[in-house]
Structure 1
C-alpha cells in the first residue's frame, strides 16, 4: 500500500500530491489515503447511540477512542509525513519512566519522584532543529514541550502518565497518547513485568501496528538471567519476539540521572531511528499497521449502529401494539354511560328542584319559562357542568396514566426501552386533560348556539327557558350517560336533541382515545432519530469499502 499526504484539489492540471490504489483517469481527481481517513473521521464522529442497549456504552467509548486516534495520530501523520516520529515512554506506576527519559537526555526535563502519581504533566522532547515542523501539531498543543539537542533529529520522546495511575485523568491521557504514538518504549521492572494491564495494552499496540521496544528497568543482578528469560518467553507468547529488549541494571537507592553506560544501548538504538529517512520508515510502518487495524474497528462500530436500528424496530412495534387496547377500553367507559354514575347523578338530584326541571315543559311539550327563569336555571345548572367537567377530566387523566403504564410494561421488557416513556407529573396530566375537556365543553356550547339560531319554536323556547349555558349543561349530562338528562334533552329539543347527544358522547370518546394514543408520540419521535434509521450505518460501510481498497 502506498501512503501519501494531503488532498489534491479537483480540476487541478498539475500532478497529484500522492495517490493510493489503482490509477484514476487523468481528468478525475485522485483520492488519497488522507481523503478516505478524513471522511472516516467525519462519519465516526457523527455516530450516535441513543438507545441504552447492551454494548452501547462500550461502543461510545470505542467511537471516542477512534476519533482520538484519527485526530491525534493518523490525520496529522497523513497530512505531514515529515513530522518527527513520536516515541512514547510508557509503563506502570514506579517503573522509572521519567528517570529513564532524563538519563537519555542528560538533563532533568521530567519530574521524577517516589511520590505517586509522579508524571502529572506529559512532556514531549524534540531536537531544536525539528521545532519548525513539530510546532503547531496536535501533540505539542496538548502536552508540555521541551527542545533538547540530545534527542536525535526526526524523533520526539514523550513521557506519558502511568497506565495504572490512581487518577482517572492520568490513565485516560496515557491511553490517548499511546494510541497516537509511532513507537512505544515500554518500561517495566522485575517486580511488575508480569502485570496483566501492560500486556493487554501492548497487545492493543501490536494490533494497531505500532513498533514496540521493551526496557527491563532496575534489573537485579542476582535474578537477572531468570527474569530476562521469563520476559523473553512472554514476549514470544504475545507475538512480540522481534521487539528489542533493553536491560537497565538496578542502581540501588539514588537520586538524579542514571549512569550513562546503563542507558547507552537505548541511546544508540534511538539514534538508529533518527534522521528523516529512518524516522519516516518507522512512521510509515506504524501508519500501515494503524490503517490495517481500522476495518475491524469500524466494522464493529457499524454493527453497534445496526444493533441500535434493530432494537428501535422492536421498540416501535411494541409501542404501536401497547395502546390500542387501552384506547378501546377508555372509549367503552365513555360510551357506556359510566361517567354519569356517582357525582353526576348526585349533582342532578341536587339541582333538579331549585332549577324546577320538573316544571320546565308545558303540557303541549314546549319549554316553559321566561328569560328571567332561564337565567336562574343557568345559575343552578352551572354546578352540573362543573361536575360533568370533573368526571370527564378524571377519565382522561386515568386513561393517560394507564396508557403510560402499558407503554412502560411493553418497552422496558425490551433492550433499550427503559426510560423511553417520558415522566409526567400529576399536574401536567391534569392540565392536559382539562384542556381537552374544555375544548369538548366549548364544542357542546357551540352546538347549542347553532340550535338557538335554527328556525323553530320548540328550540327557541328551550333556549329561552334554560339559557344557552343551562341547555349546554343538560346536553353534557346527557352525553355522559345520565338518563334523566337525555330524556329532558329529547323533550326540549326533539330530534335535534336526540341526535346531538350521541355526537357529543362520541367527541368525548374520541378525545379520550386521542389522549391515550398521544402517549406514544414522544416515544415514536425518539425512535425517529436519524441514528436509528435503517441506513444509519451506511456511511461507515462505505468507508469500510474504501479502506478495503487501500489495504
Structure 2
C-alpha cells in the first residue's frame, strides 16, 4: 500500500505541474500541499494518530481519559477545558511525529491491547469554543491526523456547526472517521435507539454512509472497551496513515477530473490546417509573388527569344520580381543578393482578417469542450508567434528558391537562331546595298544567286535573305510567345508549390507545434487524472 501511495503522490505532483495555469491556482496549491504533507507524514513514523474532536460538554476529554485508562485531560461539563491539543502515546513517544503535529502537551501510558503500542491519541480543543485559536487548532489537526473520532452528545448531536463545517466536507474521508454518541447513560434504551437512528440519518445526509457509529459512556464505561479495541486494531494494521492520505488524493483526483474534463485532445483536422495555410499564404502575399513569377518569366522569355532588333524596347519595363526584390532574372555570373525584407506591399485588411480568422478557427476547434482556462491556454499557444509571423513569412518568401534564375535551354537555342536570322538580314541588306553602289558608279553588280520558286519565278538570294530573315524572325517571335507563356505558367505552379511548402513549414513550426504541445499536455493531464483515480 505504501508503494502504491508513493506512486500516487508522484503522479499528483506531476499532475500539478502539468496543469499549472490551466486549472484554478488553489487546486494546484492544494495538490502540492498534500504531496508535501504526505511525504513528511510518511517520513515521521508509522504510528496511527487518532484525534478525538467534539463540542463543549460532549464529554470528549472524559472519553479520552477512559480510553487512556488514566485521568490525563481536565474534564468539564459547561466550558472548554482543552485549550491546546493533548497527546497520549500507548508506547514510546515518537518525538519527531509529535513535533511535526505541533503537539507540546504529551504523556505515555502502557498499552492494554495488542497493537495499541502503535497508537497516538489526541484530545483536541472544543470545535465550538469562542477562542479563535481553538478553531484554528482543530482545523489544522483535521488536515494532519490519520483517524477522526467525532464525539457528540444526545443534546447537540444535530448541531449544524459540526455537520456543516467538519463532517460534510469530510465525506470523501468516511473510511477514516468514527462517530461516537457519548453520554449514552443519560438515555433509556428506546431513547438511545431513536437517537442513534436519527444520528445515522444525519450522517447519511452528510455523505458519511457506513461510518462506524458507537454509543459510549465515559462515566459507566459503556462502549469504551469497544472503542478502545477498534482503535487498537486500526493501529495494529498500520494502514490508517495510508488510508487518510489516499483519501486526500482521492478528493484531489475528483477535483482535477472536474477541472480538466470535457476536451477531446487530438490533432487538428486536415481541413482546418489547410485553411490556416491558405490564410498564411494570403497574409504573406503568395498569390502576388506567384503572379509576379509568371510575369517575370514572360518578361525574360520575351527578352531571350524575341526579335533582337526590337526586343530592346522591353528592357524599359522592369522585371516584376526585381521590383519586389525577390529573385528575378539576374545576369550570368551575378551573385544573388539576399535581402532581409521584400518590397511586397504591406498586408491589407483582408489578409489580416484571413490570418486572424484562420488562427481563431484553429484555436476554437482544438479547445472545443475544454474548460475555459485550458481553452485560453490553447488560444495563447496558437497565437504565440503572431507578432513575428509577418516578418517570418516575408523572410520565407525572400529566401525561397523559386527556380526563376535558370534559363531554359530552348531559350538559348532560339536566341541563337534569331541572331542567325539577323545575320542573314544584314548580309542581304549589305549585298543589296553593294549592288546599288556599284550600279551608281556604272560597275557590274555582284554575282546574284537566283532562287527558283515553285511557279518558276526566280528571286535573288539577297532579297530572300532580307525578307526571309525578317519574316522568319517575326514568326519565331510570335510562336515563342506561346511557349514562353506556357513555360511561365509552369514556373508559376512550381513557385506556388515551393512557397506553399515553406508556408506550411512555418505554420507547423510557429502555430501548430505550440498548439500540439498544449494538446499533448492536456492529454497527459487527463492520463495522470486517470492514473490518480
Larger radius of gyration: 2
What is the TM-score when the length of structure 1 is the normalising length? 0.42
What is the TM-score when the length of structure 2 is the normalising length? 0.43
